[in-house]
Amino acid sequence: MYKGDLLPREVYERIRASQNAVLIDVRTDAEWAFVGIPAIDGLMRICWQQYPTMERNAGFVAEVEGAGVPKSAEIFLICRSGQRSAAAATALTQAGFENCYNVAEGFEGDKDAAGHRGSVGGWKHAGLPWIQG
């Protein structure tokens, strides 16, 4: 099991305070392009699932390792709402990464009463820096 779930603002503050922290956005390239990405130093974009089939990226762990992320680094994983990133955090933990955290609420948060994302929780709703991909 990964280290735990943290809210976006806490993740943002921890990344800003650490030279060893990494935020990995595990969403698809389509989401990065059309929804936006966190605007922070140290952001990595490695898909957990491949668009459009949404088939799991079997090379995910190898891509993180290949990017040179130390096994001891604080690694925060984010997706749309926190589900895919939790699975990715579990996979990295099972591969020997010691400090993996899931970003609870994700980038867009849960759906509101009208079925839209972005107004109930998440990185964007918390007012944290982001840019259009």
Tell me the whole-structure pTM to 2 decimals: 0.96
Give the domains, in start order, of the chain with CATH numbers.
4-131 (3.40.250.10)
Please state, in angstroms and rounded to a whole number, the distance separating the CA atoms of residues 5 and 11: 10
Do 61 and 115 meet the contact criterion of CB atoms below 8 Å apart? no
Q: Tell me 1's DSSP state.
A: -
**Which pLDDT score is estimated for 61?**
98
47-64: pLDDT as tens digits: 999 999 999 999 999 999
User: Which residues in the chain land under pLDDT 50?
Assistant: none
**Which pLDDT score is estimated for 45?**
98
At position 57, the amino acid (one-letter code) is N
**Which pLDDT score is estimated for 119?**
87
**Which pLDDT score is estimated for 113?**
92
Query: Greatest CA span in the chain, whole angstroms?
Result: 42
